[in-house]
Amino acid sequence: MSERAIEIEDLFYAYPGEDACLRGVSFSVDRGETFGIIGPNGAGKSTLLLHLNGVLMGEGRVVVFGRPLRKDTVRLIRRQVGIVFQDPNDQLFMPTVFDNVAFGPANMDIDRAEVELRTGRMLDALGLSGYADRPADRLSLGEKKRVSLASVLVMEPDVLALDEPTANLDPGGRRMLIRLLRSIPGTKIIATHDLDMVKELCSRVALMDRGVIVAVGAAQEILADRCLLEEHSL
Amino acid sequence: MNSQGLLVELDPRMKIAACLALALTVSLTPVQDHTRFAAYLALLIVPAVLSRLSPIRALKRMLLLIPILAFLILSLFFFGDGPASRKIAVGGGIAIKSILVYGCFLVLILTTGTVEIIRALERLKFPRLFTSLLFFAVRYLKVLSHDVGALRRAAESRSFGKMGRLKEINLLARVMFLQFMRALDRSQRIYAAMLCRGYDGKLGISAGVRLRRADIYFGLAFFGGLGLAMVIL
């Protein structure tokens, strides 16, 4: 497999009837790296994440572990890149915790016993033992975020992409999630405003504004550049 | 669920099958067969009593049927053809059948969780699109009503208690419309989340759970009783 987990070249995308929200985005993420995408609201971070596994397909080149994203490769790439959405209510669309976590494996052509085994293991690993039959709408936001993460990790993706993982969490929930993310091995891409979390978790960062990558570099360098951050509402 | 007895423990598939069979039989029985209706009522009440269903709770829910029944029967009297005695007979028949059919579904709902009912429908090979929509409805009705409540409170907090009844209705209509537009947006995000996890038209992971001995005994007793009521009485 390629040493580059993700390569994006000259990516353009516009939602129907709107101005372009990605305008020539290019960057790459190495295997095993934790990469941050920071930027103000409306910068295009969430839209960019949706291009990583072909939910959206703009103009330009997206390559995942050396495999170009095309209609014939999208199904395979969706197994490799798991996306955790910002609002857990969008991610937890099934009635119970078990159904939500088991949804991905059930679509992977593996037998039910294996689906149950994987789901149980993942719930245990994320401190959610005993939650299987709980209705998704009766969880706290922190629990919902953990179940959302479990619902993606259970598919054992090579790349984990997270959209604003700490948004709306209380300080305790935020710390717990950061600890959890640090303990997860593999390539991670985190789109966020939470610069403290980026400082704790990411080795490199891309700063995005109005659909353009403004700067890419070592997290410490970019986060230390106060002028650059303030110029882009961070 | 509001009870802890016999029916609660049964496989929801058996309960749905029994409920549909009884509802269908009641609907197809001629209105003058009062003895049969009494037998059907017994078939409904005995399991409900054995399930320790709260009669007050069940009767309260039965009250919901009254306005609909009243509307149907009054329409019959005002707009129906024929002598008054015939209208009374037909109206009585409608009332008996409605109460029994409504009672069947009420007992099912009071002894089975919503998710279990949908899962059972899936296992009974109901169309997947239908069961998928039910799953979504169960999951998102609460989210939507919570959001509507939040929007309403936000508007009320800026009305300084001066909102009249008409304005309140107007506000609710606007909030519902706004929520509908937001729901469309949300549906696209949910669909994206489903695609990310390999969705290809299949929802849920129903297992082929076998019926237990208790389910089979209940089925034999219930369908046997129904058969006897239809054939002998």
- Alpha carbon distance, N-terminus to C-terminus of chain A: 36
**One domain for residues B86 and B180:** no
pLDDT at B1: 55
Interface A:B, Cβ pairs < 8 A: 77
B201 lies within 8 A of chain A by CB: no
**In terms of residue numbers, what domain contains A43?**
4-231
CB-nearest to B204 from A75, A92, A99 is A99
- Give the least confident one: A92-106, B103-117, B161-175: B161-175
Q: Which two tokens stand for residue B38?
A: 């009494």
- pLDDT at residue B206 greater than cutoff 80: no
B73 located within any domain: yes
Name the amino acid, one letter, at A12: F
pLDDT at A62 exceeding the cut of 70: yes
Answer whether residue B86 is part of any domain. Answer: yes
Measure the CA–CA gap between A38 and A46, rounded to whole angstroms.
Answer: 11
Cross-chain residue pair B139–A155, CB shorter than 8 Å: no
Tell whether the model's pLDDT for residue B161 goes beyond 80. Answer: no
Residues B119 and A62: their CA atoms lie apart, in Å, by: 39
Cα B195 to Cα A62, A72, B145: the distances in Å are 18, 15, 26
Confidence of residue A107 (pLDDT cuts 50, 70, 90): confident
Confidence class for position A194, pLDDT limits 50, 70, 90: very high
pLDDT for the residue B203: 64
Same domain, B48 and B104: yes
Q: Are residues B98 and B133 in the same domain?
A: no
Residue A183 pLDDT exceeds 70? yes
Report the pLDDT value the prediction gives residue B9, as an integer from 0 to 100. Answer: 85
Could you tell me which of A153, A103, A105, A108 has the C-alpha nearest to residue A127? A153
- The nearest alpha carbon in chain B to A135 belongs to B139
* pLDDT at position A206: 96
pLDDT interval class at B148 (50, 70, 90)? confident
Out of A23-37, A181-195, A198-212, B44-58, least confident range: B44-58
Range(s) of the domain holding residue B87: 6-112+210-231
Judged by a CB distance cut-off of 8 A, whether residue B189 touches chain A is: yes
- Tell me which residue has tokens 């994320």: A126
Q: pLDDT tens digit string along B65-102? A: 999 989 988 888 888 777 888 888 888 888 999 999 99
Q: The domain spanning residue A91 has which CATH number?
A: 3.40.50.300
Q: CA nearest A156: which of A72, A79, A89?
A: A79
User: A91 CA to chain B: closest CA distance, Å?
Assistant: 6
Dig out the tokens for B197 from the structure: 């996890």
Kindly determine whether residue A89 and residue B196, on different chains, have CB atoms separated by under 8 Å.
no
Residues B82 and B145 in one domain: no
Q: How many domains does chain A have?
A: 1
**Is B197–A96 a contact, with Cβ atoms under 8 angstroms apart?**
no
Out of B140, B195, B198, the one facing A108 most closely (by C-beta) is: B198
The predicted model gives B57-67 an average pLDDT of: 89
| Confidence tier at A223 by pLDDT (50, 70, 90) | very high
Over residues B171-189, the mean pLDDT reads: 85
Of A93, A102, A136, the CB nearest to B193: A93
Q: Does residue A188 have a pLDDT over 90?
A: yes
User: Is residue B108 located within the same domain as residue B222?
Assistant: yes
How many domains is chain B partitioned into structurally? 2
- Choose between B230 and A180: higher pLDDT: A180
Distance CA A99, CA A136 (A): 9
CB A113 within 8 A of CB B208: no
Sheet holding A4-14, edge to edge: A20-30, A4-14, A59-64, A67-68
A74 to A29, A56, A58: CA distances (angstroms): 19, 11, 13
A37, β-bridge pairs: A191, A206
Buried b / exposed e across A209-222, counting CB within 10 Å, b at 16+? bbbbbbbbeebeeb
Please tell me the predicted confidence (pLDDT) of residue B202.
67
Q: Give the nearest chain A residue to B191 (CA atoms).
A: A90
Rank A9-18, A106-115, B28-37 by mean pLDDT and report only the highest: A9-18
The predicted pLDDT at position A154 comes to: 94
**Residue A226: left if φ>0, alpha if ψ -120 to 50, beta else—which one?**
alpha
pLDDT the model gives residue B3:
52
Instruction: Return mean pLDDT, chain A.
Output: 92
- Percentage of chain A exceeding pLDDT 70: 99
pTM above 0.90, yes or no: no
CA distance A184 to A164: 17
| A142 vs B231 pLDDT, higher one | A142
CA-wise closest residue to B193 among A144, A10, A180: A144
B35/B96 same-domain check: yes
- Give the whole-angstrom CA distance, residue A72 versus residue B76: 62
Residue A68 has pLDDT above 90, yes or no: yes
Other C-beta atoms closer than 10 Å to the C-beta of B126 total: 14
